[in-house]
Amino acid sequence: MTEWLDWFSRYAFEGGIGGLFALSVIDSAGVPTGGGPDVVIALLASLNPDPSFAAALAAAAAIGSVIGCLALYWIGLRGGSAGAQRFAPNAVAKARQSLEQHGAWVVFLAVLAPPPIPTKLFVFCAGIAAVSIPRFVVATMLGRALRYGAGAVLAVHYGPQALDILRASTSAALWYLALPLSLGVIGLAVSLWRRRAVHGQDA
C-alpha cells in the first residue's frame, strides 16, 4: 500500500495540476495519503512561484477534494452505523453531535484545519447527520480553498523551504489560517447563540 501511495504521489507531482486534482479526490475519499495534496502543492508552487499558477493549484486541489468528500459523505449517508465501524464509537458519537448542533460550520473547520484534526471522520459523520448537501459543498469548498491557498502562498513566498517549514511545525500554517479559523470559530459561536436563543423562546 505504501509503495502504491508513493508511486501515486510521484504521479501527482509529475502530472501537475491534473495529477494534483486526482490525488485530492482520492485523499478526500478516504484513502490515506499522508497529506499528499498539501505536499504536492508546496512542491509545485515552490518550483514555479507564479501567483496565477499557485491559484490554479489551490483551485484544482479544492475542487478535487470536494468530489472526494462527497463520496465519503455519501458513504456516511447510505452506510450509516455500518460504515462507522472503521472509527471509534465515541469519536463518531461526538462528531455526529457536533454536526447536528452546528451543521456545516463543523465541516468548514474540519477541512480547513491541518493534521491531526480527523477530517475524514467529520466528513463521514456529516453524511450520517444528513447535513444539507449544498451547505456541505460550500463549507468544504471554502475550507479547502483557504487551506490549499494558504499552502500555495507559503510556497510562493518561501520557495522550497515551505515544505520544510510545514513539516517542522504547523505554526507557520496556522498563522496563514488564523483569519479563516477565527471566522469559523465565530460562526460556531453565533450558531450556538442562535440555538440557545430559540430554545429560550420555546421554554
CB distance 33 to 120 below 8 Å: no
Where are the chain's structural domains?
Answer: 2-202
* pLDDT of 198 above 60: no
- Cell representation of residue 27: 485523499
Minimal CA–CA distance to 155: which of 55, 65, 64, 59? Answer: 55
DSSP letter string, 142-185: HHHHHHHHHHHHHHHHHTTHHHHHHHH-SHHHHHHTHHHHHHHH
Q: pLDDT tens-digit profile of 140-161? A: 998 999 889 888 888 888 777 7
9-21 residue pLDDT tens: 666 667 788 989 9
Whether the full predicted model's pTM is greater than 0.85, yes or no, is: no
Angle between helices 178-202 and 104-112 in degrees, nearest 10: 160
C-alpha cell at 149: 491557498
Q: What tens digit of pLDDT does each residue of 92-142 get?
A: 888 888 888 888 888 998 898 776 678 888 999 999 888 999 999 999 998
